[in-house]
Structure 1
Amino acid sequence: MRNCQVRYFKPEGLSGLELLSCPDVNYLFPPHFHDAYCIWLNSSGGERYRHSGNSSILQPGHFGIIAPGEVHENYACENDRRNLLTFYLAPSQLQSLAAQIRDVDSDDCEFRTDFYRDNEAYAGLIQLHQTLYHSDSKLEKETAFIELLALLISRHTAKTINSAKFGQETERVNKIIELFHEQIEEDFGLSELAQQFDCTPYHLIRFFKKAVGIAPHAYLVQMRLEKAKQLISEGDSLVDAALATGFADQSHLTRHFKNKFGVTPGIYRKQVLG
């Protein structure tokens, strides 16, 4: 089987940040989400994406931001051109730097999912990716990261929307997701969930999928993969990470992990831990 050229990297000294590079034109990232903000671009060509039921192309010279928890998929438009560069940024990092810049409590600061034509930021993201991968200077890496993130914050952040103003179904979706977070290893039953949230199983699937783009079980699997990835990057064994996140065994985790992230858990561990 042909090896996929997906590479993950955690820059030393910068918590809450992970990088991805993928020159593999044949690799399709299936419907998935991240716990972090996903800031991404294809510096060699166009990248087709699907989000919220819509399909479009991230054009050369543009970059995208996907908010945490929002389901999307993407793949290269052309068969011989791809240089996918991605930054996964923890919301806490965004809020911390926003507070420094504005000298206020910035818990309400967020990036919304959108796609941008911003030549300065686009070029800066490409340069930052290279700097974080190749520079030996902690000062250079930290400075480049803060300056570029400050630029994005000044141009492309918005205030958090209070979800309380949305309807009952949105509130139930949020509570289901919260329950998944709290009991991530639990083997939930659809009927029990529906009873707990005062609806039929069919209705639960319908309003959940309408809100987030995938069914509850698929969402829980994605959530478990995000948590397993975090545990592995912190040094947990693959077996422990699998059991802690509700997977039946290591092979079950490996199959899903490879499908989402493009590498096996073992390869990911070697990439980020050395």
Structure 2
Amino acid sequence: MWQQENVKEKIQFFRLEEFNGLEMLKASYRKQVFSRHVHETFCIGVIEEGAQRFYRTGAEHIAPKGDIILVNSDEIHTGSAAVATGWSYQAIYPSPDLLRSLSRDLKYADGSIPWFPSAVVHDPGLSEQLRLMFNLLSQKSNTLFKETMLLSSLSWLMMNYGKTRITAQKLPSAEKQILLAKEYIDAHAETDVSLNRLAEMVQLSPWHFLRQFKEIFGVTPHVYLIFARLRMARKLLLDGHSILNVAIRCGFADQSHFNRHFKNALGITPGMFVRSLQTA
């Protein structure tokens, strides 16, 4: 666990190795503005004070005190204060694999990864259960109770607010081409790839490619490149690489540039992330 505190903000970040590296955040933000970003994990949070404004699923949402925030894996979202006093919340970031394993024992007969259609849920009973779970997870003991609360809370959430993901239909040829460009970015996030190069790969003009990419994925290729670099950076930090080395290897201009993008997307600095690994 790592903690940072000042007059305006208090941030505690946990990485729970006993739950396969499950991440948890307790934070109070006043001025923090999360840029558009994605997580490979889900985000399940409860607003404890104030209110949060955020973009998800093509619309703006406001979550007041006591409400639950739900963000699906790989779903573009933002975050900022909805009131002058900011917001405080607790959240966990379960992996798709964790929810898939639970889905096999619930209503998802095929063991598929669930999808939460609602960005904000008002359920006082579940909110209280999640808060109890958050507090338990931050403790060093009570392993059996923690495991029980985690699984029961996630199961209840999935049973009442989760849906089965609809299997994607066969993609049109044009979308397949754009997907190839996305996969190229994922595989070569550290490179300084140009718009012309990506457009040539899929045999489109740069302008047409730019429009098609944003229409399909909700962001420009440049913004998606930042997403891919941050995913790569997290993996390298987990493997023990230094922050400076990670910044260079992932294609960021310098360490300051890397720090800014990391904080804007995740709410913590790379240094806080690394220190949480050292104290886990």
**Shorter-normalised TM range:** 0.7 to 0.9
Instruction: Determine the C-alpha separation between the residues in 1 that align with 2:276 and 2:8.
Output: 15
The separation in 1 between residues aligned to 2:219 and 2:108, in whole angstroms, is: 39
Instruction: Indicate the residue corresponding to 1:193 in structure 2.
Output: 198
Q: Secondary structure at the match of 1:10?
A: strand
Q: Deviations over 1:165-216 (max 9, x none)?
A: 4545543443333222222223222111111112211122212222333211
**Which aligned pairs between 1:62-101 and structure 2 lie closer than 5 A?**
62-80=67-85, 82-101=87-106
In 1, are the aligned partners of 2:52 and 2:86 still within 8 Å (CA)?
A: no
Q: Hey, what does 1:109 align to over in structure 2?
A: 113
Q: Which residue is 1:176 aligned to?
A: 181
On the 8 A contact 2:44/2:68 being kept in 1, the answer is: yes
Displacement of 1:94: 0.9
Deviation at 1:118, TM superposition (A): 2.6
Shift of 1:221: 0.6
Kindly provide the CA deviation profile for residues 207-254 of structure 1, in whole angstroms up to 9, marking residues without a partner as x. 222233321111111221123123313433223433443334434322
Structure 1 unaligned residues grouped into runs of 5+: none
**Equivalent position of 2:39 in the other structure:** 34
Match of 2:12 in 1: 7
Confirm or deny: 8 A CA contact 2:117 2:162 kept in the other structure: no
Please list every run of 5 or more consecutive structure 2 residues that lacks an aligned counterpart in the other structure: 1-5
Name the stretch that deviates more: 162-171 or 216-225. 162-171
Distance verdict in 2 for CA 1:86–1:212, change over 3 Å: farther
Relative to structure 1, is the Cα distance of residues 169 and 53 closer, same or farther in structure 2, using a 3 angstrom cutoff? farther
TM-score normalised per structure 2: 0.86
Deviates more, 1:125-134 or 1:135-144: 135-144
In the alignment, the residues of structure 2 paired with residue 187 and residue 81 of structure 1 have an alpha-carbon distance, to the nearest angstrom, of 37
Distance 2:107 2:199 in 1: 43
Q: Distance in 1 between matches of 2:241 and 2:103?
A: 32
- Checking the alignment, whether the CA contact within 8 Å between 1:29 and 1:260 is kept in structure 2 is yes
CA RMSD after TM alignment: 2.5
Q: Does the 8 A contact of 2:25 with 2:91 survive in 1?
A: yes
Q: Find out whether 1:208 has 2:216 as its counterpart.
A: no
* Distance (Å, rounded) in 1 between the aligned partners of 2:131 and 2:178: 36
Task: Give the fraction of aligned pairs with identical amino acids, expressed as a percent.
Answer: 27
1:121 aligns with: 126
**Structure 1 Cα separation of the partners of residues 216 and 41 of structure 2:** 19
Write the distance in 1 (CA, Å) between the matches of 2:125 and 2:179.
Answer: 36
Map residues 117-156 of structure 1 onto 2, 5 A cutoff: 117-156=122-161
- Look up the equivalent residue of 1:90 and give its one-letter code: S
Say if 1:164 and 1:199 are closer, same or farther in 2 by CA, change over 3 A.
farther
For the structure 1 residues 241 and 216, does the alpha-carbon distance in structure 2 shift closer, same or farther, using more than 3 Å as the test?
A: same
Check conservation: 1:46, 1:57, Cα contact below 8 A: yes
CA distance in 1, matches of 2:271, 2:164: 39
2:277 corresponds to 1:254: no
TM-score (norm 1): 0.87
Distance in 1 separating the partners of 2:11 and 2:247: 21
Give the secondary structure class of the aligned counterpart of 1:125: helix
Structure 1 residues 157 and 52 mapped into 2: Cα distance closer, same or farther (>3 Å)?
closer
SS at match of 1:163: coil
Secondary structure of residue in 1 paired with 2:17:
coil
Is 1:60 the equivalent of 2:86? Answer: no
Length, aligned pairs only: 273
Distance 1:50 1:72 in 2: 5
Q: What is residue 3 of structure 2 aligned with on the other side?
A: none
Contact 1:225 1:257 in 2 (8 A): yes
